[in-house]
Every structure is written in C-alpha cells, then in structure tokens.
Homo-oligomer: A and B are copies of this chain.
C-alpha cells in the first residue's frame, strides 16, 4: 500500500527540535501525512536552503516571518502556536466548545512564553551572539529562571490540571488530549534535558505536570514517533541546551 499523499509541509531547521518540534508533535498525534521539507537531502529540495527559499518567496500572499512555517494548501503559516492550532483545529486535537478553544489558545501561548524564556537563559543579550559571548549574563539569568520562572510556570500548569477534574490528570482541558498537552509534554522534556538538577528539585512539587508528561509519552502515536529517527535528539544548538554551569547541583 502506498503512503497517503502528504497534506502538509513543515519547514524548520533540520538539525534541531527547536520550535518546529511543537508542530511535529501535533502532526504526529493527528496522524496526518506531512513532509519535513528541510530534512530531505538538498538534491530533493531539502536542507536549510528550503527555509531560505520559502521565506524569500514573494508569491502566494503574505510572506511568513520565520520558521517554523507550516504549508497547508495555499497557506504558508509562521508562528509555532498558530501552526499548532491550525493542525489541531482541523484534526480533532482542539476543544469543540468556543470558550474551551480560547482557553487552549491561552494555554498554548503561555507554554510558548516559557519556551522563549528557556531559550533566553542562554541568549540573554541577543540571538546574534554565541552563548560563549554572553555567558556572564547567562550565569546571572539562569538562577532566576530555574528558581523563580520555572516554578511559577509549572506551578500554574499544575493548578490548571488540579482545576480540571474532568481531565483526571490526563488533560489540561476537558477529558481529551488537546494540543496544549503536547506542548506541555515537550517543554517538560526540554527542561528536563537542559536543567536536570532544577527539574529534579521541582518535579515533586508538580506531580500532575510530570504525570501528564509521562501519559503523553505513552500515547501510541507519540511513543512511535519518539522511538523513530524522525525525533531528533536534544543538542546544544536548539532551544533547550544543557550547559552544566547554568544548572549546578543543589
């Protein structure tokens, strides 16, 4: 049996999870065919050149700002949260009720705020400089992030899970998985990689968040994805980077 035709294309840097991973997880859980274009060989139109080309393309309406870019029919959609929401709303991974859909939107944006703050721990001065050029500033920022921001964000998601009795700990909203659950899974995975000591200290305070992370990892499609070569390993070029000096033993 031939594979079904891809209905989506994703354009994202081919060597990191980064923000693209949030879109990949929604596509994988939705079970829809997609092409991760930049991961194709350059001779098949892949590589980083594919991203440069789609950002520069002046045809087809409003240009996208930055990767990840999701292509669906004639739409080229940038912004991680917008791309995740598009796929989720078209494939049963967003709430049906309008108010719940709006809450999913807010939750997703809150996860993305945490993602940006995690990135800026190693890039507090600017993305145009290497980490090594802003390490002094990063050493100042890291304890504020692990000591105050991580507990505040993850404590909030813990409270959301406690408020949602219907979810029985398996869902932030309602009783079915929605796309913010996938995003929270990914941010817990990333923080656990980048800041293992801080997460070890924090995990007992946010048991429902940790249980949700474990439950998402066991979903059949996500488990298959995580075990596949499509899941890139974390590394020190992405958003979640493990620099031991930013996460000392406690």
Contact size range, A:
35 or more
Q: Across the interface, do A110 and B58 meet the contact criterion of CB distance under 8 Å?
A: no
Docked complex Cα distance between A147 and B141 (Å): 23
Q: Across the interface, do A62 and B125 meet the contact criterion of CB distance under 8 Å?
A: no
Q: Across the interface, do A148 and B163 meet the contact criterion of CB distance under 8 Å?
A: no
Residues of chain B contacted by A58 (CB below 8 angstroms) = 163
Residues of chain B contacted by A192 (CB below 8 angstroms) = none
Distance (whole angstroms) from the CB of A221 to the closest CB of chain B: 24
Distance (whole angstroms) from the CB of A7 to the closest CB of chain B: 15
Known A58-B163, A62-B164, A105-B79; contact A144-B156, beta-carbon cutoff 8 A: no
Shortest Cβ distance from A173 into B: residue: B62
Does A214 lie at the interface of the complex (its beta carbon under 8 Å from any beta carbon of B)? no
Does A43 lie at the interface of the complex (its beta carbon under 8 Å from any beta carbon of B)? no
The residue among A58, A85, A141, A149 with the most chain B CB atoms within 10 A of its own CB is A141
Docked complex Cα distance between A82 and B109 (Å): 8
As a 0/1 sequence over residues 118 to 140 of chain A, the CB contacts with chain B under 8 angstroms (1 = contact) are 00100011101100001001001
